[in-house]
Chain A
């Protein structure tokens, strides 16, 4: 299954986002990454199955968790 990454600025927000996504029955995990274009540096990614990406992002946005584009 393809995984997609949702970029989040901080560990705390990524963990809370992951909890909210899991509460909706979507499995996910948090990993620390370096932002590829170099602008942000160290950030966190919530990995979800690609088919759940849109739903997971909606959950995050509706909870006020800022997703890095």
Chain B
């Protein structure tokens, strides 16, 4: 199979991942932070090792500011619902995934106000201006994606972060499509919250998300429960990570994430990004030379896009193109990609698009075979 659906989840995983997951189940299968015996201690150490690793990887203040959740969507919900209450105003972009849009719509029912800022591709100043002009006296937060999961368009998060800081606003970022691929260092950008999945660019497995906190603002909790700490007290702990980590953690996935982080560090994030960007530009150049193909963005660069691409072929429905490619054992994603707002912004809401996204494991030969298959449709 030629797998180009890495924006949904990366596949394959780095060598050693399956063994580490098996080891976490077989030899470290006790509940972390819940027992006095050796296997529980091993399980707890697995969690702490990965937490420390992730903190270092993203420039977090210290390990306790890395929160393990069930998914990026959970992380985003924790931030939006932990910060915003009736009467507050938040600014999002028109490139958001439903992981942002839907919680915002739910919060709007509780009296939270929101505005949507237009993103101008390859024009960071114009994009920042769109956010700036929507700031109100009751604006509490800017929350936006780092990069569109449909079109790959990057938002200028460094400049938006500065805008938020200058205006005393909290700033959260959905890093679902950028974490592990694009540069993301809290020592270099102002951001209060980074939300990300483990199973995409970080090469971990499904069922794990990260929320990295970069302030001392106490989020209201969305879920309360057992944390393995201060069990004699009936209220939720006020310290991190326990405050936001009720319930047993996904230790096998946490162990896998540590392998993923090691893989990125060993290969080099910049090298992975460059490899994927070369493949996407190869696809862009070939597809743009096919008269039947429609593309929707400028030629991607690392400054302006993450390495993924949306296209259509003539009037053929995107789902049908994906099915025909699937018949040739080529995996792509079609439709609206859980991002109706982004499709409306780009005028593709009726057709959807076909999306491709390579990974560190995608070869030039595979991309060539994909392009030949598209040419035959």
Contact = CB atoms under 8 A, between A and B. Distances in A.
A35 B240 CA distance: 20
Contacts of B45: 15
Given A31-B36, A32-B35, A32-B36, A12 B63 contact: yes
Given A16-B64, A32-B35, A11 B44 contact: yes
Interface stretch (B229-237, B322-330, B365-373): B229-237
B229 A11 contact: yes
A32 B32 CA distance: 11
Contact of B232 (A12, A35, A44, A66): A35
Contacts of B240: 12
Contacts of B32: 11
B232 A10 contact: no
Interface string B216-240: 0000000000011111110001011
B232 A41 contact: yes
B242 A16 contact: no
Contacts of B242: 9-10, 12
Contacts of B44: 11, 15
Nearest to B36: A32
B33 interface: yes
Given A16-B62, A40-B232, A41-B232, A10 B36 contact: no
B239 A41 contact: no
Interface string A25-38: 00000011101001
A61 B66 CA distance: 21
Interface residues of B, number: 25
Residues of A contacting B: mostly: mixed
A32 B242 CA distance: 15
B358 interface: no
Contact of B51 (A9, A12, A43): A12
Contacts of A38: 232
Contacts of B237: 9-10
A66 B229 contact: no
Nearest to B35: A32
Contacts of B241: 10, 12
B58 interface: no
Interface in A1-56: 9-13, 15-16, 31-33, 35, 38-44
Contact of B239 (A15, A33, A40, A66): A66
20 contacts: A9-B229, A10-B227, A10-B237, A10-B241, A11-B44, A11-B48, A12-B48, A12-B64, A12-B240, A15-B44, A16-B63, A16-B64, A32-B33, A39-B232, A39-B233, A40-B231, A40-B232, A42-B229, A42-B231, A66-B239
Given A32-B33, A42-B231, 13 more contacts: A9-B237, A10-B64, A10-B241, A12-B64, A12-B242, A13-B239, A15-B48, A32-B40, A33-B36, A38-B232, A39-B232, A40-B232, A43-B229
Interface of B: 32-33, 35-36, 40, 44-45, 48, 51-52, 62-64, 227-233, 237, 239-242
Leading 10 A-B pairs by shortest Cβ distance: A41-B232, A41-B231, A42-B231, A11-B33, A10-B229, A15-B48, A10-B242, A12-B64, A32-B36, A40-B230
